[in-house]
Amino acid sequence: MNINDLLAEVEAKKIVPVVKLDRVSDAKPLCQALCEGGLPVAEITFRTDAAEESIRIAAKAFPEMMIGAGTIVNTEQAKRAVDAGAKFLVSPGLSRSVTEWALDHEILIFPGTCTPSEIMTAMDYGLSVVKFFPASQYGGLATIKALSAPFPSIRFMPTGGINAENINDYLKFDKIIACGGSWMVKDSLINEGSFDKIRELTAQATALVK
């Protein structure tokens, strides 16, 4: 699947669950809960020692899922994530080295942006979609709309402060391809092993954005 196909998949799903796994053993039940809830996609963040192996396990056990890696801050992490099976990369900011590595290897990347200068840098690389992060702290939908005026070719995946109450407000704006969110995969739910609750919240989120 090429980058454009993956972008179309992200847009169709509308929500990208942002997952932090502290235990490798949680990877399978977490992914199963997401799939059963109707949302076969996960951005597994590289914030923990369990991330790389969790991506490897998830990618192998759930080939139908879009497994990505988040919080990628250097090329070493990017390579490890892709080698483990990540189909896309997400960064909290715009790293030239990470972006160049991803493009050189034909990997879909969502670099984090929140300023006009960062968006212009992303455009220099030929990117058409960027992450907007942290969304709520940087003005949310109002800021995205303001940024869209001078950059009509750019679309956004806002992350940070997105929840069941405001996601449809974001998705109604045609410059937003999808939203990253963690309310259905909260750390506390994963650490408690509450995968039934995660499945329930995922199903509710999926129904909400249809």
Instruction: Tell me the pLDDT tens digit for each residue of 175-210.
Output: 999 999 999 999 999 999 999 999 999 999 999 999
pTM for the whole structure: 0.97
- 155 pLDDT more than 90: yes
- 26: number of CA atoms within 13 Å, CB side? 23
Q: Do the Cβ atoms of 202 and 183 come closer than 8 Å?
A: no
User: What mean pLDDT value characterizes the chain?
Assistant: 98
Exposure string (b/e) for 12-34, b if CB count within 10 Å is 16 or more? ebbbbbbbbbeebebbbebbbbb
Q: Tokens 């940087």 — which residue?
A: 138
From the candidates 43, 64, 145, 192, which is the catalytic residue? 43
Can you tell me the mean pLDDT for 84-88?
Answer: 98
pLDDT digits (tens, 9 = 90+) for 107-127: 999 999 999 999 999 999 999
- In the residue annotation, 43 being an active-site residue is answered as yes
- 31 pLDDT more than 90: yes
Which residues are CB-contacts of 15 (< 8 A; sequence separation ≥ 6)? Answer: 39, 41, 167, 178, 179, 180, 181, 205, 206, 209
From the candidates 131, 145, 165, 172, which is the catalytic residue? 131
- 1 pLDDT more than 90: no
Rounded alpha-carbon distances, angstroms, from residue 12 to 40, 41, 198, 201, 207 = 11, 11, 21, 19, 13
Q: Which of 175, 124, 170 is nearest to 153 (CA)?
A: 175
Q: Do the Cβ atoms of 51 and 23 come closer than 8 Å?
A: no
Q: Tokens 């977490």 — which residue?
A: 30
- 142 pLDDT more than 90: yes
Q: Do the Cβ atoms of 101 and 79 come closer than 8 Å?
A: yes
What span, in angstroms and rounded, lies between the C-alpha atoms of 10 and 64?
A: 13
What span, in angstroms and rounded, lies between the C-alpha atoms of 102 and 26?
A: 28
pLDDT digits (tens, 9 = 90+) for 54-81: 999 999 999 999 999 999 999 999 999 9
- In the residue annotation, 11 being an active-site residue is answered as no
User: What percentage of the chain reaches a pLDDT higher than 70?
Assistant: 100
